[in-house]
Structure 1
Amino acid sequence: MTSHDHIKLTSSELSSLFGAYVSDTLSICVLSYFLNHVEDSDTKDCVKFALESAQTRVKKEESIFRAEGIVIPVAFSEQDVNVRAPRLYSDEFILHYVSNIGVMGLNAYTTALPTTARQDIREFFSLCLQAATELFNQSVDILLNKGLYIRPPYIPYPQVTEFVHKQHFLAGWLGEQRPLTSTEISFLFMNLYRNTLGSALLTGFSQTAHSKEIRKYMERGAEIGQHHSAVFAKFLEESNLPVPTVSHFTVTDSVEAVFSDKLMMSHTAALYNAGSGFYGRSIGGSSRKDLSAAYSRLMIEVGEYSLDGAKIMIENGWVEKPPSAPNRKDLAGG
Structure 2
Amino acid sequence: MNTQSNPGLTSAEIASLWSNYLSDSMAVQTISYTLSQVEDEDIRSVLQLALNLSQQHVQFIQNLFTNEQIAVPNGFSAKDVNLNAPRLYTDDFFLLYIQNLGKLGMTTYTMALSNAARSDIVQYFKQNLSTSADLLDQATQVKLTKGIFSRAPYIPKPEKVEYINDQHYLSGGWFSDKRPLNAIEITNLYYNIERNRVGTALIMGFSQVAQSPEVRKYMVRGRDVSEKHVNIFNKIMHNDHLSTPSVWDAQPTDSSESPFSDKLMMFHITTMNTAGIGQYGAAIGSSQRTDLN
CA distance in 2, matches of 1:249, 1:136: 20
Give 1:303's aligned residue. none
Alignment partners' CA distance in 2, 1:249 and 1:183 = 27
Partner of residue 184, structure 1: 185
Which TM-score applies when normalising by structure 1?
A: 0.85
Query: SS of 1:231's equivalent?
Result: helix
Q: RMSD of the TM alignment (CA)? A: 1.1
Q: Distance in 2 between matches of 1:216 and 1:104?
A: 26
Letter in 2 for 1:246: V
CA contact 1:4–1:119 (8 Å) conserved in 2: no
Taking only the aligned residue pairs, the percentage that are identical comes to 42
Matched, 1:202 2:218: no
**For residues 257 and 92 of structure 2, what CA distance do their matches in structure 1 show?**
21
* Match runs of 1:51-70 below 5 Å: 51-70=51-70
Aligned residues: 290
Partner Cα separation in structure 2 for residue 80 and residue 132 of structure 1: 25
For the residue of structure 2 that corresponds to 1:36, the secondary structure is helix
The residue type equivalent to 1:108 in the other structure is T
Question: 1:114 aligns to what?
Answer: 114
Further displaced range: 249-258 or 81-90: 249-258
Q: Check conservation: 2:6, 2:118, Cα contact below 8 A.
A: no
C-alpha distance in structure 2 between counterparts of 1:5 and 1:81, whole Å:
41
Q: For the residues of structure 2 that align with 1:6 and 1:280, how far apart are their CA atoms?
A: 36
Aligned amino acid, residue 155 of structure 2: I
**Equivalent residues in 2 for 1:3-42, closer than 5 Å:** 6-42=6-42
Q: String of CA shifts for 1:219-264, please: whole Å, max 9, x gaps.
A: 1101110000011111101111122232222310000011100110
Q: Hey, what's the Cα distance between the residues in 2 that align with 1:89 and 1:172? A: 39
Question: Residues 1-334 of structure 1 correspond to what in structure 2 (within 5 A)?
Answer: 6-173=6-173, 174-292=175-293
Which string of whole-angstrom CA distances, capped at 9 and with x for unpartnered residues, describes residues 10-46 of structure 1? 0000001000000000000110000000000000000
1:129 is displaced (CA, Å) by 0.9
Gapped regions of structure 2 (runs ≥ 5): none
Equivalent-residue separation in structure 2 for 1:4 and 1:264 (angstroms): 42
- Which letter does structure 2 place at the counterpart of 1:222? R
- Cα pair 2:207 2:216 within 8 Å, conserved: yes
**Using a 3 Å threshold, how does the CA distance of structure 1 residues 152 and 4 change in structure 2: closer, same or farther?**
farther
d(CA) in 2 for partners of 1:180, 1:92: 31
State the match for 1:322 in structure 2. Answer: none
**CA contact under 8 A between 1:4 and 1:118: conserved in structure 2?**
no
List, as ranges, runs of 4+ consecutive aligned residues in structure 1 with deviation greater than 6 Å: none
User: What SS does structure 1 have at the residue aligned with 2:291?
Assistant: helix
CA distance in 1, matches of 2:120, 2:178: 52
Normalised by the length of structure 2, the TM-score is 0.97
1: distance between equivalents of 2:114 and 2:292?
A: 30
CA gap of 1:4–1:268, structure 2 versus 1, over 3 A, is: farther
Q: Which amino acid aligns with 2:164?
A: V
